[in-house]
Amino acid sequence: MPGHFRAERNTECERPEHSDDLKRGYTQKAIFGSLDFELIPKTLTLTAGTRYYRIDSTEQGAVVGSFGCKLLFHPTAPNPCVNHSNDTNIDSLGLDKLNKGFKSRANLTWHPAADLLLYYTWSQGFRSGGFNRPNSVTSGPLKGIFLPPVSFTPDTLTNDELGWKSEWLDHRVQFNGAIYQEDWKDAQISVFDPGITGNLTFTTNGGKYRVRGLETTVAARLTHELTVAAGAAWNRTELVEEAAIRGLNGQPIDWATVVPGRPLTNPAGVKGDPLAGAPPFQANLRARYEFLLGDYNTFFQLAGQHTGHQFSSTDKLTKDLQGNSIAYDNPSYSTYDAAVGMSKDAWSVTLSDVNLTDKKADLYANARQWYKAVTVNRPRTLGLTFSYRFAGGK
């Protein structure tokens, strides 16, 4: 029953049993406000705001488990028996975490001309912390050295952005863009390596990542019939401060020497490593030609997209059954689309061809089942769409 515990959550039967009887909750309170100041009327505006938050997270219950009347594969006595060696009374741990503070934002906009806007934005953000399964254990080379943390703290993001929005040539060309830097601190990461850190996934706080990038978009009506739009983004991501994952002695683990004769890498990433799922370059281009064919509005459209290579994970510690790092490097790829359509009055028809060359691209790869499983994009897809706008529709 939601919100309630099992009546006898700390008793075990003779057969093998493992169960999580948990209740997690949080209480969040916040107050926020924002003010605009026109430093120069209709020309220079300063916006400033802040948000105070208070989040109280709790976890109650118990985690129980045993192999009935056996301790692993060896019988125990008396019989029948109850083995409580894997019990954890979560209530006794006092899992009540309070996170509070301010997150703010400031924005300065400048209109030096009617068709030009320049702006600078500084903003902060965060994600709440949480709890892991309390009785996670470590086997293998880190036994007695490391235990997965019971809880993890919020991670924070600070963004500095300088951008522009503009129109040119009598509003026939629109050119927008931004240059930015983002600092992601105490990044929340998931770790799963039964041979090193235990047999359950847990979340912990990683290091500090920095993202520096530039993005632009251009849209131009070259003729009355032809419109071209393009966009691109360049990003450099790197781990600038390595996570200090601490052992049972309270000291940061030296992954290079913690296991004699077997150098390991920090599961939260090594300084200089890029972010996962962050291609260094992305671009798109679209051209659309519209014209009248008799009484019919007709169009042709071609589009292309390119995505650079990207890593599936920052975890270079975990390996699949073949001994490969699960930080798989997914190759770059390009895809192309086309469409043609006609419309008149209230009806329209469109024929589309998505992924013209039937490119098979690796979008994501993981080793959750101990082998490399890849998520790919959709194959070439032809579509025919009819639509009708009923009377009164605009």
Could you report the per-residue pLDDT of 334-376, keeping only the tens digit for each?
A: 999 999 999 999 999 999 999 999 999 999 998 877 789 999 9
CB count within 10 Å of CB 139 equals 12
What is the C-alpha to C-alpha distance for residues 56 and 95, in angstroms, rounded to an integer? 10
Q: What is the DSSP letter of 366?
A: E
- pLDDT for the residue 10: 46
What tokens were used for 135? 């009785």
Domain ranges of the chain: 26-59+107-388
φ/ψ bin of 236: left (φ > 0), alpha (ψ from -120 to 50), beta (otherwise) = beta
Residue with more model confidence, 87 or 382: 382
pTM (two decimals): 0.84
Q: What is the pLDDT of residue 95?
A: 82
pLDDT of res. 81: 52
Q: Which CATH class is domain 26-59+107-388?
A: mainly beta
Q: For residue 111, what is the enclosing H or E element?
A: strand 96-113
Quick: pLDDT tens for 307-340: 999 999 888 777 888 888 888 999 999 999 999 9
Q: Which residue has the tokens 């052992």?
A: 247
d(Cα 326, Cα 370) in Å, to the nearest integer?
9
**59: helix, coil or strand?**
strand
For 145-157, b where at least 16 C-beta lie within 10 A, e where not — what string?
A: ebbbbbbbbbbbb
- Cα separation, 36 vs 273, in Å, equals 40
| 93 backbone dihedrals φ, ψ, rounded to 5° | -85, -15
Q: Which residues contact 66 (CB under 8 A, 6 or more apart)?
A: 12, 16, 17, 18, 82, 83, 84, 85, 86
Q: What does the DSSP 8-state code read for residue 250?
A: S
Measured distance CA(285)–CA(347) in Å, rounded: 28
Do residues 264 and 255 make contact, with C-beta atoms less than 8 angstroms apart?
yes
Bridge partner list, 178: 163, 215
Average pLDDT over residues 59-76: 61
Quote the mean pLDDT of the chain. 87
Question: Model confidence over 2-56: pLDDT tens digits?
Answer: 555 554 454 445 556 667 777 888 899 999 999 999 999 999 999 999 999 999 9
- Would you say residue 73 has pLDDT above 50? no
The token pair that represents 242 in the structure block: 């390595």
Residue 71 pLDDT grade (very low, low, confident, very high; cuts 50, 70, 90): very low
Token pair listed for 144 = 């007695």
Main-chain dihedrals φ then ψ at residue 140, nearest 5 degrees:
75, -150
Q: How far is residue 377's CA from residue 30's CA, in Å, rounded to a whole number?
A: 41
Q: Which of 23, 20, 18 lies closest to 2, judged by CA? A: 23
pLDDT the model gives residue 15: 56
ω into 80 cis (within 30 of 0): yes
Question: Cis peptide leading into 148, omega within 30 of 0?
Answer: no
* Cis omega (within 30 of 0) for bond into 267: no
Going 140 to 248 to 65 to 318, the CA torsion angle's sign is negative
Q: Whole-angstrom Cα distance, residue 227 to residue 318? A: 48
Contact 199, 176 (CB under 8 A): no
CA 323, 329, 334 angle in degrees (round to 5)? 145
- The tokens for 203 are 């979340």
Half-sphere exposure of 96 (CA within 13 A, CB side): 4
Nearest to 232 by CA among 177, 310, 275, 160: 177
Alpha-carbon distances, residue 201 vs 190, 275, 360 (angstroms): 6, 20, 30
Nearest to 267 by CA among 208, 330, 204: 204
Residue with tokens 């028809």: 349
